[in-house]
Structure 1
Amino acid sequence: MRQPISLRAAARARSLSAVLIAFLASACLPYPGSDAHAQGRTDSAAQHYDIPPGPLAEALSRYAQQSGAAIVMDAADLQGLRTPGLTGTHGVEEGFRLLLQGSGFAVTRTSAGYLLRKAPGMPPVTALPSITVQASAPLDGTTEGTGSYTTHSMGTATGLALSMRETPQSLSVISRQRMDDQAMVNIEDAVEGTPGIVMQKAGGERVTFYARGFWIRNLTYDGLPSYYDGDTVASPDLAMYDRVEIVRGATGLTTGAGTPSAAINMVRKKPTHDFQMSVTGSVGRWNNFRSDVDVSGPLNAQASVRGRAVVGYQNKDSFVDVVNNESTLLYATLAADLGPRTLLTVGGALQRDNNRNTWGGVPWAADGSDLHLPRNSYFGYDWEFWDKENKELFADLEHRLANGWKIRVGASKRWSRMEYLGTHLLNYGTWSQAGAHYAAPIDTANYALQVSGPFTLLGRRHELIWGANLQKTHRMLAGGQGTLLTSGIDVHNWRPDSLPKPDFDLQMLRNEYRHEQRSTFLATRWNPADRLKLILGARLDWYDYDARTRWMGTTSAADYQVTRHPTYYAGVIYDLDAWHSAYASYTDIFEPQSERTLSGDLIDPIVGENYEVGIKGEYFEGTLNTSLALFRILQKNRAALLADQAGCPANSCYGPTGKVRSQGIEAEVSGELTRQWRVAAGYTWTDAEYVRNDADPGLEGQRFDTAFPQHLFKLSTLYRLSGEWERWRVGGGVQWQSGTYMAGLNAGQPFRIEQKAYAVANLLVGFQASSNLDLQLNVSNLFDKRYYHSLGSHPGWGGVARYGTPRNFLLTARYTF
């Protein structure tokens, strides 16, 4: 039987309306006095802590750092006293009391903080009993096993481990619980569920993500950046990840070169101190079969060495005829305590996706009108494929120094391979078909060193992090293409077996790119007052880029170097009360480009600024987070495809567009409304337009990308029933977006491709059959909405539009040991 809801949980349920009203009106309310505010922060605002075993003096210093409470003490008085550590959720004074229990010491609160004093009548001991307070989420941000839709710590934006409320940028997290509830399989599913982010698929396996009007290229793994391109890199399988962290806006401080759209950080699952194992199997529409095994636990009696392995296999057809995907995942990681303060983590993964799919998708009429083709239409051949493979090795060494400081050294090596043989339709007034055979290997190496910890200045405690990074990427695209058919095409009577497998000149194209980025950065979190926090940072980047291309016998080369490019970051957070904070942030934008001009030169990097202001709320001990943000992004020198390709020495030439501005509003709520009710919802309005366009002045004042919706709303929710129905849970969601379109000229005639506003609803029902067995049914596109998920860019260059997936189901059984 489930335990009765506590008084605190009951109070939470009664206060929901007050929370929502307070969040919207907090900026207008009078601020409480400083004493009352401090009292709320120290007595009632519980936090989550993870204090490792060790000397009591060091534990108290670490606790003071994490809680933000100043303590005056003489470490000599605590010599020889140790603590087994403290994990869990509690208020500041309660945490001090538990840490000091049985030590013969206590703390007294003063106007300047806390004073450590001897407690009369209590003899000290040299070892303290184990103290464990049940926590809803660990301090390091781990979401597995918490059942939460949020996290308590993220470092993706600044490198500092801060809560969502303490970070002056828009944040989202896809927790392990949300992945399981919504039956997410790979990063594409996670992005579809993230507020403010849009996924598009131009044809079969060409995946792109967008936020705030721009392409997302910043993908990191446990904080280490890696090259990502949906054309050539397999979409990461989520079975090996604890959570997906998303920072919207520019993240130049932590990633250096990159887009101002968003950064996605994939956080891997870690080995656990206790044995755990789960076996998961699922079956769905269109012969969708998947199985996963996840095993974790100690490898010796002391649990100082721990391991984890995840194996996954999926084979599925599609609502599109002929299409099939076979995916295999192998993941293994090892964690070893090299000492009481040193942790080594190593691991590796292999993901192989064999995709029987075409290069193209659904074609349009020459004027962009809908041909109303069946959703299962496949305009390729049965010999086409688009295979991808990811391999990686990684290592992380963390050493905790005295007084809360730590050193982290990380390294990773990734190998991605892609090969495809495919076709797509062309419609420049008459139908034709092109094909291509390409291979694209990508090798990326990353190395990072970070030193972080607290320091005291003018009687107040602050935080600092310094880091250095080296990233090397070598990528290549080689192959050939050509025209297969110029007549006899009937899109209403297509036969996938009507054309034999062609041969292409694989020496036609060979593009090779090498780039190296060396960086160093410094960030500080200043604590000038109880309510006020300042985050200041700067980064220097050395960027080397080298490109060698060969197109139909013509060879060209170009390179550039950027030396000591500075990136600045500034953020301010002001606590309005115990639950709400206002913030503002600024960061620079620096994005190298690989596009070439008609003269064959590389276009200079994009530069610009990212501004954001907002208000955040944190309720129920951090289990519910809300945010409201206004943003503005300014970009200069962005490359655009030239309308006139005459004289182009490559297969495509570009020009600088001048200046682009993106601005908008983001609102989000995620976490627990009650003990039984979880929610994740967000609304985004984005207005991106050309402010100046040197290549085409007629675009000035026009929308930058009309295929990106201006309005986007996403909602996911789950409710666990009570009483006799306590084993059941129900949930669902909806995704709505405003209309999108593409317009221009096709063979001299105007065209317009359009998808009007639409909404898609989802449903889930779960049943806890026993303490070990859980069953769940997910229904997607509940009302079988017919819509275009992706439009493509032009009816002439290819039928690459894509229908949204029709109504489908997935039944999942999970057995835990």
Structure 2
Amino acid sequence: MQFKHIPLAAMMLCASAAIHAQNKQFDIPAGPLGEALNRFAQQSGVAIVVEANQVQGLLSPGLTGSYGVDEGFNTLLRGSGYAIDKTTAGYRLVAIPKPAGGMAPDSVLPAVSVKAASEHADGPVPGVVAKRSATGTKTDTAIVEVPQSISVIGAREIDDKGMVTLTDALAQTPGVAVNPFGFDSRAPDWVMLRGFDGWYTSSYRDGLAQNVGITFLGVQTEIYGLERLEVLRGPASVLFGKGDVGGVVNRVSKVPGLDAQREIGVQAGRYDRKQVMADVGGALDADQHWLWRVVGVGLDTGTQDTYPNGTRMQQERQYLAPSLTWKISPQTALTLQAELLYDDSDDDVQYVTAADGSPTRVKEGDPRYSRIKTESEAAGYQLSHQFDNGWQLQQKMRYAHRYMDKHHILSFFDADPNQLLRQARHDVESVNETALDTSVQGAVTAGGVTHRLLFGVDYDRSRAEWQRWQGMVASLNMLNPVYGIDLPTPTAQSRDKQVVSEQIGLYAQDQIRFDDHWRVTLGARQDRARTRLNDRLGEVRDQRSDNATTGRVGASYQLGNGWAPYVSYGVSFVPVLAIDDDLLFNPSRGKQIELGVKYIPEDQPLSFTAAVYNLKKTNVVSYDPVEFIPHALGQVRSRGLELEARAELSKQLWLTGSFTALNMKILSSAIPEEVGNTPILTPKQTSSLWLDYAQAGSGAPGFSIGAGVRYTGKRYNDAANSSFEKGYTVADAAIRYDTGPWRLALNVSNLFDKEYLSGRAYGSYFRGAERNVILTAKYRW
């Protein structure tokens, strides 16, 4: 922010003696001192003159509560080395005289306070403990005040732990299970939240929905392009429309910023992994009104999966995400974003189960045929404007196109148990989507109670298309499988479907602050959704329109020193995109009650949370055990306990930990043998612990070492719950060396190469991830 001896925007507001004398309610987040003073001047109605060099690089702890003008200024300036001076023209900053031989009183904030003050909801996470988030409320809110479970994983943690996929990062998060079908060389974002599959409903980017295709076309995320990864558990429809009862995963993109660290790097690893990456940016002009950033990745790697003839499966990826921010004025900013991702992977990810149910090393496809290519292109913007009265306008928009070309094999046994009949399939899918969210927010004080109000409207439209061609090809001898043969691409078309979905929602939220203790959050939403199905091959059409009102109510009590018990109740409404026998599914609805407690002290990098919940969901999608065709179940209940700890115990040592106990039960279903049972491939418990020690302190030159364990509990293989896989524990480790601008890191997942199965279902069995070793070198400036 540049000031050239001119008043801030608030200088134009008229000040009066009455305004100066009375207290007002303020809710100004911690952050850059210049921005905090600007907001305070606007909301209090006073003028202030600030020199550019006075506020450059300084931070403010923020301001929350009822304050007079002088008291408010003093609170915002605490630790800055400046005081406020009242003149006939308004206010100005004056330097606090330094004592002889010493620093000005309070001229330097303690290290922990500086970290806390520098965080804002969409920016970098200082360390491993996030204090603020916008995912739970669509406002920049302290996490301790949100009456719902939220986990935040920052880019630094992702880097230190050596995570290379989104599911790697989420595997250590309470309430989340990933990759139910085991290791997948295609690296899809397959996430389960509180036991419910989030394939269709959980994917969000910068607060906007990311829609998937009708069958196999999902969302793939390049994790290197994220600033932070946020998980909101529990019903999210009130703010996110399609946010299901299990929750949402919001990916927050890297965008331009003056404090963004620039780097280039290379990786090498097991299975002949080769990767290059870059994250660069800066200012285009001297006044820093134009900022840019470009994130890029190039990957070429083998995977752990091989065919019986020794052919190793491969993956290639190219990723580019440029962004540009224009600071139109001190109150208005526009960020333009684009993202390109191309992925080319072998598509034969599971091993065949023999006719007697025993595992084999046979793959049903062929390395010369089984392949999946995906493309994703997206462009959009984020606009924000701060009005003179303290209210803020925000608008986000994104258009995206995703495309998939998939060649794969479906197999089944003949009368001969050693002969595997095979059907070649060629699937082509695409999704075109437009998402738009516009909101205004601001604070109103009445009767000593502060209301932080949010009003918005969002719109989401997607057109998904799916074509399939299929035909029988050469069978495979299980005792002597032959690979590397030419399998013809089928020409007989069997599917040609289109699904168009539109949803518009009006939402409102009130975050009420009664005093220093009570916080109440009220939210309501009205949705109108329309879905049209066109089976162009079968000349069948179906359509439906649905309206729904959803909401959330929650309350927390701020005990002081960071402790806050809370309770919340929320409901969800989600149009289901899956189709069954050319009929659109009824919408899914859910409801949940959650009780919890959070300990997130303002002045320490600590976060401990605990939650218990009880939720029910109707019209849950299940899949046929033979051909993986979707069917609508009746009702599923989920109950659980979730614990999470994040702490920087000292400058050298930090930890993260989580624990989940899940109890799921199918209450009603179209498949009778499922009733009363647990859904398949759903772990009953998960837990994780990671400790990280830096020899010379976090971020300082020298060696660092980290190690952790992850546990996944019992999973049932079938709807009847007649067989299950035992729980397993794997260990991970990391060694890093920082010297000057260089970082060298060695990360090992599944350190002891534990062999385990994720499950057995749909005629296949799913192997877990083997030991993987990655060496990274980065140059930062």
Judge same fold: TM > 0.5, yes or no. yes
Q: Structure 1 residue 713: deviation in Å?
A: 0.5
CA RMSD in angstroms, aligned pairs only:
3.1
Q: Structure 1 residue 207: deviation in Å?
A: 5.2
Counterpart contact for 1:351–1:390, Cα < 8 Å: yes
1:222 maps to 2:206: yes
1:139 maps to 2:114: no
Deviations 1:237-293 (A, max 9, x none): 022210111111111111113321220111111212268531111110110011111
Q: Equivalents in 1 of 2:391, 2:51: separation in Å? A: 19
Counterpart contact for 1:545–1:561, Cα < 8 Å: yes
Q: Equivalents in 2 of 1:712, 1:466: separation in Å? A: 38
Q: Equivalents in 2 of 1:804, 1:671: separation in Å? A: 30
- Other-structure match for 2:454: 465
Equivalent of residue 334 in structure 1, options 324, 334, 349: 324
Deviations 1:656-701 (A, max 9, x none): 43221111100001131222222121101111112233x2444332
Q: What pairs up with 1:409-808 in 2 under 5 angstroms?
A: 409-427=395-413, 430=417, 431-486=420-475, 488-490=476-478, 493-497=480-484, 499-505=485-491, 507-550=493-536, 553-563=537-547, 565-596=548-579, 600-619=582-601, 621=603, 623-641=605-623, 652=629, 654=631, 656-693=632-669, 695-703=670-678, 705-722=679-696, 727-743=702-718, 754-768=724-738, 770-789=739-758, 791-795=759-763, 799=764, 801-808=765-772
Residues 227 and 532 (structure 1), Cα distance of their counterparts in 2 relative to 1, 3 Å cut = same
Deviations 1:630-666 (A, max 9, x none): 0111112334457899xxxxx9473x43221111100
- Other-structure match for 1:211: 193
- Other-structure match for 2:159: 180
Q: Structure 1 residue 474: deviation in Å?
A: 0.6
Deviations 1:204-259 (A, max 9, x none): 53652112110112211111122146931452102221011111111111111332
Counterpart contact for 2:691–2:707, Cα < 8 Å: yes
Q: Which amino acid aligns with 1:392?
A: A
Residues 421 and 128 (structure 1), Cα distance of their counterparts in 2 relative to 1, 3 Å cut = farther
Q: Which runs of 5+ in 1 are unaligned?
A: 1-45, 63-72, 106-117, 646-650, 746-750
- Other-structure match for 1:816: 780
1:323 maps to 2:313: yes
The 3-state SS of whatever aligns with 1:273 is coil
Q: Which amino acid aligns with 1:455?
A: V
Counterpart contact for 2:31–2:60, Cα < 8 Å: yes
- Other-structure match for 2:344: 354
Residues 80 and 557 (structure 1), Cα distance of their counterparts in 2 relative to 1, 3 Å cut = same
The 3-state SS of whatever aligns with 2:477 is coil
Q: Which amino acid aligns with 1:720?
A: A
Q: Structure 1 residue 295: deviation in Å?
A: 1.0
Query: What is the TM-score when the length of structure 2 is the normalising length?
Result: 0.85
Counterpart contact for 2:131–2:600, Cα < 8 Å: no
Q: Equivalents in 1 of 2:37, 2:279: separation in Å? A: 37
- Other-structure match for 1:50: 31
Q: Equivalents in 1 of 2:36, 2:615: separation in Å? A: 48
Size of the aligned set, in residue pairs, is 714
Q: Which amino acid aligns with 2:664?
A: A
Q: Structure 1 residue 145: deviation in Å?
A: 7.5
- Other-structure match for 2:8: none
Instruction: Identify the range of structure 1 (223-232 vs 516-525) with the bigger mean alpha-carbon deviation.
Output: 223-232
Q: Structure 1 residue 808: deviation in Å?
A: 2.3
Q: Structure 1 residue 55: deviation in Å?
A: 10
The 3-state SS of whatever aligns with 2:352 is coil
Q: Structure 1 residue 592: deviation in Å?
A: 1.6
- Other-structure match for 1:248: 233
Q: Equivalents in 2 of 1:81, 1:816: separation in Å? A: 33
1:369 maps to 2:365: no
Residues 403 and 810 (structure 1), Cα distance of their counterparts in 2 relative to 1, 3 Å cut = same
Q: Structure 1 residue 739: deviation in Å?
A: 1.7
Q: Equivalents in 2 of 1:642, 1:729: separation in Å? A: 48
Counterpart contact for 1:679–1:718, Cα < 8 Å: yes
Residues 432 and 307 (structure 1), Cα distance of their counterparts in 2 relative to 1, 3 Å cut = same
Query: What is the TM-score when the length of structure 1 is the normalising length?
Result: 0.81
Q: Structure 1 residue 459: deviation in Å?
A: 2.1
The 3-state SS of whatever aligns with 1:774 is strand
Counterpart contact for 1:271–1:297, Cα < 8 Å: yes
Counterpart contact for 2:674–2:719, Cα < 8 Å: no
Q: Equivalents in 1 of 2:673, 2:487: separation in Å? A: 44
Q: Which amino acid aligns with 2:730?
A: V
Q: Equivalents in 1 of 2:217, 2:657: separation in Å? A: 31
Q: Which amino acid aligns with 2:677?
A: Q
Counterpart contact for 1:48–1:87, Cα < 8 Å: no
The 3-state SS of whatever aligns with 2:317 is strand
1:299 maps to 2:288: no
- Other-structure match for 1:4: none
The 3-state SS of whatever aligns with 1:702 is coil
Q: Equivalents in 1 of 2:701, 2:630: separation in Å? A: 61
Deviations 1:140-170 (A, max 9, x none): 2356473x11222111122222222111111
Percent identity, aligned pairs only? 22
Counterpart contact for 1:452–1:465, Cα < 8 Å: yes
Instruction: Identify the range of structure 1 (535-544 vs 422-431) with the bigger mean alpha-carbon deviation.
Output: 422-431
Q: Structure 1 residue 594: deviation in Å?
A: 3.7
The 3-state SS of whatever aligns with 1:188 is helix
Q: Equivalents in 2 of 1:55, 1:284: separation in Å? A: 46
Counterpart contact for 1:362–1:379, Cα < 8 Å: no
Q: Structure 1 residue 616: deviation in Å?
A: 0.5
Q: What pairs up with 1:7-406 in 2 under 5 angstroms?
A: 49-51=30-32, 53=34, 58-60=39-41, 75=45, 78=47, 87-89=59-61, 95-98=75-78, 101-104=82-85, 126=92, 135-137=114-116, 138-141=118-121, 144=124, 146=126, 148-200=127-179, 202=181, 205=186, 208-216=190-198, 217-228=201-212, 231-273=216-258, 276-321=261-306, 322-358=312-348, 360-371=349-360, 373=361, 379-406=365-392
Q: Equivalents in 2 of 1:721, 1:404: separation in Å? A: 45
The 3-state SS of whatever aligns with 2:115 is coil
Q: Equivalents in 1 of 2:89, 2:532: separation in Å? A: 69
Counterpart contact for 1:143–1:151, Cα < 8 Å: no
Q: Structure 1 residue 52: deviation in Å?
A: 6.0
Q: Which amino acid aligns with 2:683?
A: P
Q: Which amino acid aligns with 2:232?
A: V
